Amino acid sequence: MKVVVLTGAGISAESGVSTFRDNGGLWEDHRIEDVATPEGFERDPETVQRFYDARRAALADVVPNPAHHALAELELALGDGLLVVTQNVDDLHERAGSKRVIHMHGELLQALCAACETRSPWAGDLLGGPACPACDAAALRPDVVWFGEIPYEMDRIQSALAGADLFVSIGTSGAVYPAAGFVQLARAFGARTLELNLEPSDGSHFFHEARHGRAGEIVPGWVADLVG
Ligand code: BV8
């Protein structure tokens, strides 16, 4: 069986990672367009670097929750029959043991050099302009996909959706494209579609089935039903 799982901020909520839209459109007290757009970075790089430095540092204080662990167990059962596509930039899937993960919106623990485009693992701060490990330029930015930028590995994701028997969306509001359109693509290729979310998302009507509740509770239950 080929399963594609899309995850969003809701799967990390119970680990203590704040979601984007649960506090009235403000995100860590910033407007998204001020901190998650190239224009915002151009306008005020220090604020954006500080915003991502704080989120990168906060990863040390959070741990995977039962939903992340359930997906890692599902990968043990399905092997390359499971692909996790995450919109999240945290490393909680990997810390729970998932190996087959695509970070379509990048990762907090990587830095991207605006001069040579090399991506380097990065655990510290980027404020203050440290040198790029590859080209030495002081041109490092967070390796995350901002609004208006092209998500990573779209070809690989689209071919996985085309071959999926089952598409499951976990903890996402269905507000941001192209991720929010994956359910329609999967369904058009004949996949069954299931939404696991705290409450109906913007795209709920596209799904064959939905289970609502906290990811830490409903995801382990769904995995147990699937692989027994
Ligand atoms: C692109 C990385 C072209 C940074 C992020 C007009 C109409 C349609 C589209 C557009 C438009 N104008 C512009 C666009 C395109 C734009 C877009 O979609 N804008 C939206 C706002 C309208 N998209 C882009 O620009 C993308 N690029 O389109 O390029 C292209 C496309 C295809 C191919 C080639 C070229 C790039 C978008 C990426 C932006 N970067 N993040 C960072 O993280 O710092 S977006 C960010 O918000 C996240 O990554 C995530 O993707 C997104 C949505 O957040 P969610 O994960 O869904 O979280 P949210 O808070 O919204 O919801 C949480 C959900 O969990 C809720 O439903 C809640 O109920 C639930 N929940 C809460 N607690 C729990 C829970 N569920 C279970 N258990 C719980 N405990």
CA of 33 to the centre of ligand 1 (A): 12
* Residues 56, 68 within the same domain: no
Residue 142 CB–ligand 1 contact under 6 Å? no
The domain in which residue 47 lies consists of: 18-61+107-144
Residue 77 CB–ligand 1 contact under 6 Å? no
CATH number, domain containing residue 89: 3.40.50.1220
Please say if 208 is a catalytic residue: no
Cβ neighbours, 10 Å, residue 99: 13
* Residues 55, 136 within the same domain: yes
* Residues 157, 186 within the same domain: yes
* Residues 177, 202 within the same domain: yes
* Residues 126, 204 within the same domain: no
CA of 174 to the centre of ligand 1 (A): 7
Q: Whose CA is nearest to atom 9 of ligand 1?
A: 177
pLDDT digits over 155-178, tens only?
A: 999 999 999 999 999 999 999 999
What is the predicted pLDDT for the residue at 25?
A: 54
Cα separation values, 149 from 32, 90, 166, 178, Å? 14, 19, 28, 11
pLDDT digits over 74-119, tens only?
A: 999 999 999 999 999 999 999 999 999 999 999 999 999 999 999 9
Its pTM stands at 0.97
Domain count, the chain: 2
CA of 114 to the centre of ligand 1 (A): 23
* Residues 117, 203 within the same domain: no
Q: Whose CA is nearest to atom 23 of ligand 1?
A: 177
